[in-house]
């Protein structure tokens, strides 16, 4: 009986390792980028349709699509395009949100969380007392807190939880930038050979997309706030000093 149980335990351990490796693979190619990337690819395809001529046979988009290989290669090319567009929109969205919400969130939340959770350590004490050097601003302390948790508790539930917050913030920032791309694509501009759109429906769509982008940026900022609060709380519960 014990031998059978040992075989089952080994099989279960092997399956767990396999899924762990699979999870690491998808963590490297973060799936959060595909959401914004797929939306951006759709916007670019729609822009291709708008730039088409009046003759269906001469549609630039159809000519372009006819040159793409079919089958699994087409699927692979689409995945790569979505991932690249996802990286681009994430970079743009993160830069924009840094000016809109993230900077204010870090300035407000980090100090309050450190005081409220009573996190100890010389670096934290110098920061709260205003004695931290100019070369060690608030964002560097935040990175130090992340590295403190990653170095000592990379397998903890708290680290996994915070990583999910990071992925959600990245997704919202990328989607926000993608919505801004869509807003430009549906604009009433008729130059460059674009198909004309009616003015007011086009403007209404642009306003709705811009509002949606702003809401996504705000939600990305909220997930950033959750990260800061939970990061400080996790280190405080673990009774770790930031050395």
The answer to whether 116 and 236 are in contact (CB under 8 A) is no
Print burial letters for 212-238: b (CB count within 10 Å at least 16), e (below 16): bbeebbebbbbbbbbbbbbbbebbbee
- Residues 55-65: tens digit of each pLDDT: 444 445 444 55
- pLDDT (0 to 100) of residue 23: 45
Q: What sign does the CA torsion over 126, 129, 133, 134 have?
A: positive
pLDDT (tens digit per residue) in 203-214? 899 999 999 999
Q: How many CB atoms lie within 10 A of CB 11?
A: 10
Could you state, in order of their start, the residue ranges of all structural domains in the chain?
1-26, 87-237
Q: How far apart are CA 125 and CA 135, in angstroms?
A: 16
184 versus 70: which is more confidently predicted? 184
**Cα dist from 150 to 51, 133, 143, 200, whole Å:** 49, 24, 10, 51
Task: Using alpha carbons, select from 229, 235, 219, 220 the residue that is nearest to residue 112.
Answer: 229
């Amino acid at each position: 009986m014990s031998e059978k149980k040992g075989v089952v335990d080994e099989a279960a351990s092997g399956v767990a390792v396999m899924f762990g490796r699979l999870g690491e693979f998808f963590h490297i190619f973060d799936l959060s980028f595909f959401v914004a990337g797929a939306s951006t690819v759709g916007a670019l395809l729609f822009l291709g349709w708008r730039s088409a001529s009046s003759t269906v046979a001469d549609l630039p988009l159809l000519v372009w699509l006819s040159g793409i290989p079919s089958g699994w290669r087409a699927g692979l090319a689409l995945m790569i395009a979505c991932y690249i567009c996802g990286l681009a929109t994430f970079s743009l969205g993160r830069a924009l949100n840094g000016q809109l919400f993230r900077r204010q969130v870090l300035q407000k939340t980090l100090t309050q969380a450190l005081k409220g959770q009573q996190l100890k350590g010389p670096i934290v004490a110098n920061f709260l007392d205003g004695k931290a050097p100019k070369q060690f601003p608030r964002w560097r302390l935040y990175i130090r807190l992340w590295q403190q948790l990653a170095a000592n508790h990379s397998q903890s539930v708290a680290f996994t939880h915070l990583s999910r917050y990071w992925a959600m913030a990245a997704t919202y920032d990328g989607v926000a930038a993608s919505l801004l791309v869509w807003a430009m694509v549906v604009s009433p501009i008729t130059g460059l050979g674009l198909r004309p759109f009616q003015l007011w429906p086009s403007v209404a769509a642009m306003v709705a997309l811009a509002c949606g982008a702003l809401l996504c940026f705000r939600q990305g900022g909220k997930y950033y706030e959750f990260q800061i609060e939970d990061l400080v709380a996790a280190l405080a519960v673990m009774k770790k000093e930031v050395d």
